[in-house]
Structure 1
Amino acid sequence: MAALIEDAARLAEQFVSPLGRRWLHVQAVAARAEELAGAVRPAQVEHLIAAAWLHDIGYAAEIGLTKFHPLDGARHLRDLGWPADVVNLVAHHSGARFEAAERGMSEQLDEFPFADNPVLDALVTADLTTGPGGERFTYDERIAEILKRYPVADPVHRTWVKAAPVLKEAVRRTMERLAESQPR
């Protein structure tokens, strides 16, 4: 298990650490994913944490060919031979399907199968309860921060207006699963 996660951390550091504050975010998302591991089956933990490390590598200039980071990151990982589950989690993390629709890129994102499952829910939760500089946020605080950062006409802002209620449910489900996994 450790080897895949270590490889993911190294690759993320290579591509994301030069991006400044985003590196703080990625490190904190990976740590949050570790905290949420109880919300997924033990066999899925490795892919969850690896995807948390890798979710934003598509922002790197040498990878970001389309400038839609979930797609760019997933394509790069696929080309490197990463496990399909990790690649698909990166492709679809945190409402990527909503932003793809806003950008007219749904067909391109469809290269990667979408699976609405506990692992994706946990990745969404890790990402959307972590601020852009690695701060711990509630889901509502994170969405407010995103909406404030992007102007109303920006596709990212429009995405979050539509995606926020759907992804809030993913966070709720994750927290419910995590609570159920704790000893009583």
Structure 2
Amino acid sequence: MYEAEQRGLSAELAAYEREDSPLLDALIYADMTTGPAGQSFAFERRIDEILVRYEVGSVVHTAISKARPYLAGAIQRTQDRLTRAADQSANGL
């Protein structure tokens, strides 16, 4: 959504229903905690890695910078879900 906006493609993207669910959060989590070579990254390290790769003012740099709070929220929601699932499993629920 953020990159589409930067590329002037918001109208084209609007043709598709926006996914806003735990599934989207999980996909963001997977993407934002995995480095370019498949290594495990903390979210902030992954964001920094992207921002270093793309120059200031580029479409990706701008989109990631704007999306950062939304992405951080998705990461936190997923971590909370994982913690609840682990707690339930440990408690035999």
| TM-score between the two structures when normalised by the length of structure 1 | 0.47
CA offsets 1:114-138 (integer angstroms, 9 cap, x no match)? 1211000000000110001111101
Alignment partners' CA distance in 2, 1:151 and 1:111:
30
Inter-partner Cα distance in structure 2 for 1:153 and 1:181: 40
Number of matched pairs = 88
2:77: which partner in 1?
173
Tell me, in whole angstroms, the C-alpha distance in 2 between the residues paired with 1:174 and 1:141.
17
Alignment of 1:65-84 (within 5 A): none
Residue 7 of structure 2, aligned match among 103, 106, 126: 103
* Unmatched runs of 5 consecutive residues or more in structure 2: none
Task: Report the equivalent of 2:18.
Answer: 114
Q: 1:111, CA displacement in angstroms?
A: 2.1
1:20-169, aligned counterparts within 5 Å? 97-169=1-73
Structure 2 CA distance, aligned partners of 1:169 and 1:98? 15
- Give the Å deviation of 1:148: 0.3
- 1:58 paired residue number: none
Name stretches of at least 5 consecutive residues in structure 1 with no aligned partner: 1-96
Deviations 1:62-85 (A, max 9, x none): xxxxxxxxxxxxxxxxxxxxxxxx
In structure 2, how many angstroms separate the alpha carbons of the residues matched to 1:141 and 1:159? 17
Tell me the TM-score normalised to structure 2 length: 0.90
Distance 1:144 1:176 in 2: 23
Runs of 4+ off more than 4 Å: none
For residue 110 of structure 1, report the CA deviation from its aligned partner.
1.6
How far off its partner does 1:145 sit?
0.3
Aligned-pair distance for 1:153? 1.6
Bigger helix fraction = 1
Corresponding position of 1:33? none
Percent identity, aligned pairs only? Answer: 44
Give the distance between the partners of 1:149 and 1:134, measured in 2 at CA: 16
Structure of greater relative contact order (alpha carbons < 8 Å, 6+ residues apart) = 2
1:13-65 Cα offsets, whole Å, 9 max, x none, are xxxxxxxxxxxxxxxxxxxxxxxxxxxxxxxxxxxxxxxxxxxxxxxxxxxxx
Give the aligned residue type for 2:69: P
